[in-house]
Amino acid sequence: MKKPIIIDCDPGLDDAIAIFMIINNPNFNIRAVTPVAGNQTVDKTSKNALDLTDYAGSDVPVAIGAARPLFKKLVTAEHVHGKTGLGDISLPHSHRAFSGLNAFEMIYQEAERHENELEIIALGPLTNIAITLLKYPDIKEKIKRITIMGGSCGCGNDTPAAEFNIYADSDAAKIVFDSGIPLTMVGLDATHKAMVYEEEINEISGYNNKVAQVAARILTNSLSFCRKHGFEGSVMHDPLAMACVMDPSVISTKKLRVDIETKGAFTNGKTVADIFNVTGKKANADVAMDINRERFIKILKKAMMDYGV
């Protein structure tokens, strides 16, 4: 049976590749894409979600989500993802209309329709999911799992302590991590190992289809950005989280208690992972600690090849 999935995201360059990877995969029933403000404002991430899914030949409903974090001021990542959210990539404008539902209505509707089967892959700040939990607390019992790209057991990337998606709406992240829903946290401990090397990007750019061409351009641009920060390859955060949904064996995980710092002067948005269980609290997340990079690359390449070679 096809697995029902919602893609909650803020496209976003690496979100774009993650969307391309799964949107036409025959093993999944993609119920909706629910954009949120994050890498850019929600009008831009929503337009990008519509254009990207159209470009990949999908007519999946796109339900616009939250324009700002629950309580804190909006922060975007324009310095990484550019003014439009998609760097220098410009896609044909989609003429499809957005869904009449907003993100939280869509998420709840699909959770009811696919009770205990629906999985959410969260690639941006967790505002949409937190709002759904606040409006419909009974959704906790209906969601099978949320795979979150976010957080880190070690250092951050947006502040010294915090990863961008969690930092951008730490109050929302706290609600989701405290919800009791089965969670997989795919944080920087794993995603910093999800590097795509130059020769692999060249191979993808050789596939004869327009989706792989766009993905290769994103990977190439990201490669020069990542090299400036000391990485040998193009670091693909959201595509790794997506690969985990497609094949969980791509990561190895530890069951940990993860609490979210929402106030710290220097540590807002830190995912405080209790590696030695010093608190004695019950684990609330399967935290990705390591990856099988070869397997990740295989999944990425196959997804791009499936559009045509």
Residues in contact with ligand BDR by the rule CB under 6 A: 12, 14-15, 39, 77, 80, 123-124, 149, 157, 163-165, 237-238
Would you call 81 a catalytic residue per the annotation? no
Binding of Ca ion by 219 (CB under 5 A): no
The string of DSSP codes covering 167-216 is HHTHHHHHHHHTS-S-EEEE-HHHHTT-EE-HHHHHHHHTSSSHHHHHHH
Question: Taking the complex as a whole, how short is the minimal distance between the CB of residue 265 and ligand BDR, in angstroms?
Answer: 21
Residue 31: CB minimum distance to ligand BDR, A: 21
Residue 118 to residue 114: CA distance in whole angstroms: 5
Considering CB distances under 5 to 8 angstroms, the limit depending on partner class, which of Ca ion, ligand BDR, none binds residue 151? none
With contact defined as beta carbons under 8 Å apart, do 31 and 58 qualify? Answer: no
* Partner from ligand BDR, Ca ion, none binding residue 77, C-beta < 5-8 Å depending on class: ligand BDR
Q: How far is the CB of 14 from ligand BDR (least distance, A)?
A: 5
Pairing of strands 271-273, 258-260: antiparallel
Q: Which is nearer to ligand BDR, 25 or 165 (CB)?
A: 165
Find which of Ca ion, ligand BDR, none residue 44 binds, CB within 5 to 8 Å per kind: none
- CB within 8 Å of 219: residues ≥ 6 apart: 17, 196, 201, 204, 234, 236
Q: Is residue 183 involved in binding Ca ion (CB under 5 A)?
A: no
Coil, helix or strand at residue 45 = helix
Binding site for Ca ion (CB under 5 A): 10, 12, 15, 123-124, 238
> Which residues are known catalytic residues?
237
